[in-house]
Amino acid sequence: MEKISKNILNQVITPREPESYKGNYGKVLIIAGSTQFGGAAIMCSSAAIHSGAGLVTVATTPEKFTAINVKIPEAMTIDYHDKKALLTAIINNQVIAIGPGLGTSNIAKGLVKAVLNNTKTDQTVILDASALTIIAEEKIPLQTTANIILTPHQGEWQRLSNLAITEQIELNNQTNLHELNPDALLVLKKHQSEIYYHDQASKITVGNPGMATGGMGDTLTGIIAGFVGQFGFSLETVQAALFLHSEIGDKLNEKNYVVLPSSIIEKIPKYMAKFSSRDK
């Protein structure tokens, strides 16, 4: 399997054009959070904003609005119980990430269906965490014509693919992904996470067990959303997002026994500046 090299960061992260504005860097909708899991919505949206997404809206439960507004004033909020506002947001955003901290309530199930039924070819849908559990449990087909990115950990991939963790080898992962949707991109999260897209398989060799902290995947989802919003959907864009997350994780782990998702988020803009410079 191909190893993703650090070069991917220089390749994907380009300097910004002076004549540009927030609308050029992606409108991202993050449908996340619930009574139990407010932090997931915060980490995911904060990661998207720190990764450079131009405009981020969080669709969540109103009880979390204040926490989000205080922690990330750059993010806008909408109530995901408000069907009309939600549909408008689904239609108006180029990138939609759904799942972190969403839980598996009937409301959450309706949200997943709303996204899959109302997105189109020029959009990207990132399905993570609870959204993946819902799709597996409810056997919801991945029928949208939008670009699809699935970001399961091994337990979520087991639910989706019916592959036990020991059976999650390249050929099986490839076959099962194509059965779910032949054009979907899979980020299989583990030590040395893997990416599958069409007939290509690649993996990172950065990342460390200090990163085994709740919220680390929610953070990755936000980085992927921010990158796709700015740099467009492609295998390389997702490879760069995955690499950056673990590259920062490794740097922090040199001096920190555990690596907090929030510490990674804080470092993203500095690292992006480093890799975007023209004289790399």
Ligand X SMILES: NC(=O)C1=CN([C@@H]2O[C@H](COP(=O)(O)OP(=O)(O)OC[C@H]3O[C@@H](n4cnc5c(N)ncnc54)[C@H](OP(=O)(O)O)[C@@H]3O)[C@@H](O)[C@H]2O)[C@@H](O)CC1
The binding site for AMP consists of: 189-193, 217
Cβ atoms of residues 42 and 68 within 8 Å: yes
**189 binds ligand ADP per the rule CB under 6 A:** yes
**102 binds ligand X per the rule CB under 6 A:** yes
The number of residues that bind ligand ADP (CB under 6 A) is: 17
Binding residues: 40, 101, 153, 189-193, 217-218
**244 binds ligand ADP per the rule CB under 6 A:** no
The sign one gets for the Cα dihedral 55, 60, 66, 71 is: negative
CB of 35 to ligand ADP, least distance (A): 17
Cβ atoms of residues 263 and 256 within 8 Å: yes
Q: What are phi and psi of 17, to 5 degrees?
A: -70, 135
Q: How far apart are CA 105 and CA 257, in angstroms?
A: 36
**215 binds ligand ADP per the rule CB under 6 A:** yes
**52 binds ligand X per the rule CB under 6 A:** no
Q: Which is closer to ligand X, CB of 185 or CB of 220?
A: 220
Q: Which residues are at the interface with Mg ion (CB under 5 A)?
A: 129, 217
For the window 16-55, what string marks contact with ligand ADP as x by the rule CB under 6 A?
----------------------------------------
Range in contact with ligand X (rule: CB under 6 A) among 7-15, 109-117, 213-221, 237-245: 213-221
Q: Which is closer to Mg ion, CB of 72 or CB of 129?
A: 129
Beta bridge partners of 202: 2, 195
Q: Which is closer to ligand X, CB of 32 or CB of 114?
A: 32
CA dihedral 250, 186, 45, 9 (to 10 degrees): 50
**224 binds ligand ADP per the rule CB under 6 A:** no
**190 binds ligand X per the rule CB under 6 A:** yes
Please compute Rg for the chain using Cα positions: 17
Binding residues for (6S)-NADPHX: 40, 101, 153, 218
Q: Minimal CB distance to ligand X: which residue?
A: 155
* 133: partner contacted, choices Mg ion, ligand ADP, ligand X, none (Cβ within 5-8 A by kind): ligand X
Candidate residues 190, 236, 253, 267; the one interacting with ligand ADP per rule CB under 6 A: 190
Residues of this chain that interact with ligand X (CB under 6 A) are 37, 39-40, 100-102, 129-130, 133, 153-156, 190, 214-215, 217-218
Residues of this chain that interact with ligand ADP (CB under 6 A) are 129, 153, 189-191, 193, 207-209, 211-212, 214-218, 220
